[in-house]
Amino acid sequence: MKKLAEVTAERVDRLEKLSEELERNPMVIEIRKAEAEQTQAERVQAVARIAELNRELEAMSAGPILGLQVKLAGLDAERKKLQQEMDAERVRMLQRKASLEGRIRREQDFLCGSYDPKIDEAIEFFQKRLAEFREPGKTSIQRVGGRKNLFTERKEIKLESNRKALLSAISFCQDAIRRLEVMKLEAVFDPEEIEKMKSEIPDISVYEEIEGVKEFKGLGAPMVHQQPDLLDRLGLR
């Protein structure tokens, strides 16, 4: 019997001879030729498509974008020009502003050096009144009545104080001094306005009635607590 290796070698030899015969067969040769021609045609078409796509790609990147870049460059140049014009205008405006402010100060200096001395006298008058109103003891509180409530253990009390009128007079004098400082820069001096302000100083002797409560514990017990709202309303807290 033949060995396995010899049998395998014989089979391989026969397959090779069969393959050589097939390759020489006219039909196979024709099929191979047709396949090669088909492949060649497809390669030509592929190269043509690549060329067309490259042309479209180049047109896309170099066409609209290039135009927009040109427009952008023009806008940048226009922006730079406008920025330069704006900077120049700002410099002119600041120079003009400084000139006008300097002229205003010179005119104000003239007005401040030539106003009627009665304005300073009036300022001194209101400053003195302001100092008087701020002196200790100007705030007055007077008790005008009260009533105990045994059920609530509270005592209702009534007070009178001139604090509101005093604060009004202080505020009036402060406003008057500010008004007099403005009068120094006005063209026409009006002494009647000063006299009118003096006559309109609020009267600090006007009292306002205020009601409040105090708490106590039991009949005859001393007062142990005063409601905070009473002192708050008097401005003493």
Residue 152, pLDDT score: 61
**For residue 68, pLDDT beyond 60:** yes
Residue 216, pLDDT score: 56
pLDDT digits (tens, 9 = 90+) for 185-237: 999 999 999 999 999 999 999 988 877 666 655 544 444 334 444 445 444 44
Residue 4, pLDDT score: 62
The answer to whether 169 and 133 are in contact (CB under 8 A) is yes
Residue 32, pLDDT score: 77
Mean of the pLDDT values across residues 81-93? 93
Percent of residues, the chain, with pLDDT higher than 90: 41
Mean of the pLDDT values across residues 119-147? 88
Q: How many whole angstroms separate alpha carbon 208 and alpha carbon 206?
A: 7
Segment among 56-70, 168-182, 188-202 with least mean pLDDT: 56-70
Better-predicted residue by pLDDT, 24 or 217: 24
Residue 6: pLDDT band with limits 50, 70, 90: low
Torsion sign, CA atoms 161, 167, 172, 173:
positive
Mean of the pLDDT values across residues 65-86? 87
SS (H, E, C) the chain: CCCHHHHHHHHHHHHHHHHHHHHCCHHHHHHHHHHHHHHHHHHHHHHHHHHHHHHHHHHHHHCHHHHHHHHHHHHHHHHHHHHHHHHHHHHHHHHHHHHHHHHHHHHHHHHHCCCCCHHHHHHHHHHHHHHHHCCCCCCCEEEEEEEEECCCCEEEEEEEECHHHHHHHHHHHHHHHHHHHHHCCCCCCCHHHHHHHHHCCCCCCCCEEEEEEEEECCCCCCEEEECHHHHHHHCCC
Segment among 34-43, 141-150, 216-225 with least mean pLDDT: 216-225
Residue 220, pLDDT score: 46
Diameter over CA atoms, the chain: 153
Taking all residues of the chain, what is their mean pLDDT, rounded to a whole number? 81
Mean of the pLDDT values across residues 167-195? 95
Q: How many whole angstroms separate alpha carbon 171 and alpha carbon 203?
A: 12
Percent of residues, the chain, with pLDDT higher than 70: 78
Residue 13, pLDDT score: 73
Phi, psi of 127 (to 5 degrees): -65, -40
Structure tokens at 132: 């008087």
Place of tokens 């497809």: 42
Residue 231, pLDDT score: 46
